[in-house]
Amino acid sequence: MAEETIFSKIIRREIPADVLYQDELVTAFRDIAPAAPTHILIVPNVLIPTVNQVEAEHEAALGRMLTVAAKIAKQEGIAEDGYRLIINCNRHGGQEVYHIHLHLVGGRPLGPMLAN
């Protein structure tokens, strides 16, 4: 079984976070070190360390992550101008917390997706 992460504690409300959305499948909260004016993390409530561990049983939670992202983008006023959704996987992908999470970033032009 995967180790518990800081996100697990946020999901259980054991540590403070600016939670914007929570249901039985996912939790969304503001990033504590935002990379853009809007930077929200959306995580499944079940611990899945990386995309490499995703199974068919996780499809409902992963789909919910996307619908919640769209809902929050609209609430945050960034849906019309646009935003970026990012999932990093493992060290080379830039993953820092090994609990799958979707970054919702926007609120300004984000530039090219990758720097050369």
The pTM score is: 0.94
List residues bridging with 14 in a β-sheet.
none
Instruction: Give per-residue pLDDT as tens, 32-85.
Output: 999 999 999 999 999 999 999 999 999 999 999 999 999 999 999 999 999 999
Instruction: Give per-residue pLDDT as tens, 7-37.
Output: 999 999 999 999 999 999 999 999 999 999 9
Annotated catalytic residue, options 92, 99, 101, 103 = 101
H or E stretch including 85? Answer: strand 83-86
H or E stretch including 65? Answer: helix 59-75
Sequence-distant (≥ 6) Cβ neighbours of residue 24 within 8 angstroms: 45
Sequence-distant (≥ 6) Cβ neighbours of residue 42 within 8 angstroms: 21, 26, 27, 28, 65, 68, 69, 72, 101, 102, 104
> Which domains does the chain carry?
6-106 (3.30.428.10)
103 catalytic per annotation: no
